[in-house]
Amino acid sequence: MKLTVGMAVYNDFPGVFFSVEALRLYHDLSDTEILVVDNAGDKRLKDWMDYWLKDLGRYVLAKEISGTSYPRDRVFREARGEYVICIDSHVLLAPGALEKLWQGNDLIHGPMLNDDMRTCILKMRPEWRAQMWGVWDDVVPVGLIPKETFEIEMHGLGLFGCRKDAWLGFNPGFRGFGGEEGYIHEKYRAAGRKVLCLPWMKWVHRFGRSGNYSLDMGDRVRNYLLGFKELGKDPKPIYDHFGYQMVTRINEQCGGK
């Protein structure tokens, strides 16, 4: 198997339906599998995949740990493809996005199309805003997307990928929503690898409804603390952004880890 297109889902059968059917309609899926990792346990989704996608797709139930990191990590662990692209269950890939793959052990992304389909976002910049690390950056007309692969600092994880055996994994302590962007990119750079944007791998993300994960601020702060500690980064920016009392309390609750 050459390629796995995997998606982590939590209570979003409509999103999976349209993402999967768009893949089948607009892309050559020769030597490709579609893998859905369900973090909630949706019988309707499982039954649909078992009936309509039994020759192309696989359904994996993975609700032991609730959060975005665990099912995304399982996408790479469960994948049978040599290359893995992980998308949100409400992401659509533009025609041509799967026409060619990439070389090396780097982490890859692609330009995110805005809803006007005339402009796109090439990357994020490492900046704190609205309780998140990472701000959308570099909005350009679609016609001005660089022709060649280029290096970026970070990007949203609506679409990302790497070779299966080059996956470095999320911190196993992550829970809930938040803390992944920036962290996983720094992890690849710390390992001597790059974060790349592939100009042909364009995608669009549905922001109106993006699943029902609990947006617990305690989980988010804890994830940032764990990620910064793993990377050997100074946690002061976390305290500055979220407030000393909150971060201190959460840090104490998780044993100062």
Three-class SS state of 162: strand
Residues contacting residue 30 through CB under 8 Å, at least 6 positions apart:
none
36 with 73, same domain: the answer is: yes
251 with 137, same domain: the answer is: no
CATH number of the domain bearing residue 112: 3.90.550.10
93 with 9, same domain: the answer is: yes
Place of tokens 């692609």: 110
**Using CA atoms, how far apart are residues 61 and 42, in angstroms rounded to an integer?**
9
Per-residue pLDDT of the chain (257 residues; tens, 9 = 90+): 999 999 999 999 999 999 999 999 999 999 999 999 999 999 999 999 999 999 999 999 999 999 999 999 999 999 999 999 999 999 999 999 999 999 999 999 999 999 999 999 999 999 999 999 999 998 999 999 999 999 999 999 999 999 999 999 999 999 998 899 999 999 999 999 999 999 999 999 998 755 566 678 889 999 999 999 999 999 999 999 999 988 999 888 776 55
Three-class SS state of 80: coil
Which DSSP symbol is given to 78?
H
Burial label for 128, CB within 10 Å (0-12, 13-18, 19+), is middle
Q: What is the pLDDT of residue 251?
A: 84
28 with 137, same domain: the answer is: yes
Range(s) of the domain holding residue 80: 3-215
Share of the chain above pLDDT 90, in %: 88
The structure's pTM equals: 0.94
13 with 123, same domain: the answer is: yes
